[in-house]
Amino acid sequence: MIHSLFLVNSSGDIFLEKHWKSVVSRSVCDYFFEAQERASEPENVPPVIPTPHHYLISVLRHRIYFVAVIQSEVPPLFVIEFLHRVVDTFQDYFGVCTEAAIKDNVVVVYELLEEMLDNGFPLATESNILKELIKPPTILRTVVNTITGSTNVGEQLPTGQLSVVPWRRTGVKYTNNEAYFDVVEEIDAIIDKSGSTITAEIQGVIDACVKLTGMPDLTLSFMNPRLLDDVSFHPCVRFKRWEAERILSFIPPDGNFRLLSYHVSCQNLVAIPVYVKHNITFREGSSQGRFELTLGPKQTMGKGLEAVLISSQLPRGVLNTNLNPSQGTYNFDPVTKLLSWDVGKINPQKLPSLKGSMSLQAGASKPDENPTINIQFKIQQSALSGLKVNRLDMYGEKYKPFKGIKYMTKAGKFQTKGLLRGRAWDLKN
């Protein structure tokens, strides 16, 4: 399975290595660097690179490449999924997963990797178990440790390792018993220039933060479970009850976890909450182009659009822009040709717009592409699909917990194409 792991930063330095079997020379990464050089963008490095004696499987997260060295057949997703789990664990432990954080906590990182893999095969990947084995570093603890000489490492085998609920440790105690659920939906859409939807789908997750004493057994039911087209669960959810009653029944892990992710099928018509009108023209022979962009809310069920951010990759011929936003700030990077406009909140009475001119490279031919416009936004207190939690019940414990549910909608990969479709080739001829 996983032979070795190398962590490579964006400038191509290996800043951490760990071997689970015999040592593999770090020169094996040269193949990786080669591929990295060939790739135009950082994310274009192929995840699987065969070398004469090994296979390199890598993931890119937080601008760090996690490069696993494999020697024989293994499902590539197995490795990729594990590497992502490693990143998640680091994030969980250190708050961020940056090169600096990893370097600062190199010993904890090493201890974690040691626990997570044995002989290249995953051993303990549940964050609850790991946290019992290796305490996450907090400022208080590090101070105490330096004074008393005590350690981060637990002495007992975590109970979860052996129990039927491996994701939860026993003996959890809280004074305030709380359970919060965030229903977050993301809308992915491709919209063509005329405003008609090409594809749109909603994906949602329910993230939970559960701080409950003892071994609570929760059930969560929905008003309209039929909306959920395709779901994937945290291992704690009892699949049978979902199949039979469409009820989420589970013993929650302690702390933060993702309970459920779901998909709302595209067959249900998705209401697009925002519209964009844009008109970008380049005149042949002229070194000026015109840029006009207006956006406004649409079917938001009375909720306001917040944190709206527009970004667009302008054609290479554009040298600079001179635009006027009616609100917010805009920025154009002449090197990457990336235009971004932080609109902020949309006021339905006064629609935000961005207008102005672009200067083009002299002599360059007219760019033929109308750029794609990516939109980000948030809608608080609303789940676009209309999913509603009906009730949350707790069994198995006596106390009464505090429960909270929050809804939010975000734009995922939401883009408007600059091109009107179906004009170029007439398919009827």
Please, which residue, 105 or 385, has the CB nearer to other proteins?
105
Q: Is 296 in the site for other proteins (CB under 8 A)?
A: no
Task: Determine which residue in the list 119, 170, 324, 347 makes contact with other proteins, applying CB under 8 A.
Answer: 119
Residues 199, 189: Cα–Cα separation, whole Å: 5
- For 214, other C-beta atoms within 10 Å of its C-beta total 16
Task: Determine which residue in the list 62, 98, 111, 307 makes contact with other proteins, applying CB under 8 A.
Answer: 111
Please, which residue, 237 or 308, has the CB nearer to other proteins?
237
Task: Determine which residue in the list 9, 31, 62, 78 makes contact with other proteins, applying CB under 8 A.
Answer: 78
Residues 63, 413: Cα–Cα separation, whole Å: 20
Q: Is 121 in the site for other proteins (CB under 8 A)?
A: yes
Q: Is 171 in the site for other proteins (CB under 8 A)?
A: no
Task: Determine which residue in the list 11, 40, 175, 176 makes contact with other proteins, applying CB under 8 A.
Answer: 40
From residue 52, give the alpha-carbon distance in Å to each of 34, 49, 79. 14, 10, 19
CB 342 within 8 A of CB 328: yes
Stretch that binds other proteins, among 103-111, 173-181, 248-256, 326-334 (CB under 8 A): 103-111
Residues 324-363 that bind other proteins (CB under 8 A): none
318-325 vs 247-250, strand pairing mode: unpaired
Minimum distance between the CB of residue 170 and other proteins, rounded to whole angstroms? 15
Please, which residue, 99 or 401, has the CB nearer to other proteins?
99
| Secondary structure string (H, E, C) spanning 314-338 | CCCCEEEEEEEECCCEEEEECCCCE
Please, which residue, 306 or 369, has the CB nearer to other proteins?
369
- Buried b or exposed e, range 175-212, using 16+ CB within 10 angstroms: eebebebbbbbbbbbebebeeeeeebbbbbbbbbebbb
Q: Is 68 in the site for other proteins (CB under 8 A)?
A: no
Please, which residue, 315 or 401, has the CB nearer to other proteins?
315
Q: Is 31 in the site for other proteins (CB under 8 A)?
A: no
State the number of binding residues for other proteins (CB under 8 A): 107
Q: In what order do the strands lie in the sheet with 274-282?
A: 274-282, 288-297, 353-360, 318-325
CA-wise closest residue to 304 among 338, 335, 343, 277: 343
CB 166 within 8 A of CB 236: no
The stretches of 95-231 forming alpha helices (DSSP H) are: 99-104, 106-116, 127-133, 139-148
Amino acid present at 291:
F
Minimum distance between the CB of residue 75 and other proteins, rounded to whole angstroms? 5
Q: Is 26 in the site for other proteins (CB under 8 A)?
A: yes
Please, which residue, 237 or 305, has the CB nearer to other proteins?
237
Q: Is 387 in the site for other proteins (CB under 8 A)?
A: no
Task: Determine which residue in the list 12, 38, 50, 283 makes contact with other proteins, applying CB under 8 A.
Answer: 50
Stretch that binds other proteins, among 171-179, 280-288, 290-298, 365-373 (CB under 8 A): 365-373
Task: Determine which residue in the list 96, 107, 223, 301 makes contact with other proteins, applying CB under 8 A.
Answer: 107
DSSP 42: G
Task: Determine which residue in the list 34, 223, 239, 393 makes contact with other proteins, applying CB under 8 A.
Answer: 239
Encoded tokens for 307: 């944190």
Task: Determine which residue in the list 91, 98, 136, 137 makes contact with other proteins, applying CB under 8 A.
Answer: 137
Stretch that binds other proteins, among 22-30, 220-228, 301-309, 354-362 (CB under 8 A): 22-30
Stretch that binds other proteins, among 109-117, 274-282, 285-293, 340-348 (CB under 8 A): 109-117
Instruction: Name residue, tokens 């929760």.
Output: 218
Q: Is 15 in the site for other proteins (CB under 8 A)?
A: yes
Binding mask 244-263 for other proteins (x = CB under 8 A): --------------x--x-x
Please, which residue, 116 or 305, has the CB nearer to other proteins?
116
Phi and psi angles of residue 169, each rounded to the nearest 5 degrees, phi first = -85, 160
> Judging by beta carbons within 10 Å of its beta carbon (0-12, 13-18, 19+), is residue 226 exposed, middle or buried?
exposed
DSSP letter string, 260-308? EEEEE-TTSPPPP-EEEEEEEEE-TT-SEEEEEEEEEE-S-TTPPEEEE
Residues 216-235 that bind other proteins (CB under 8 A): 229-235
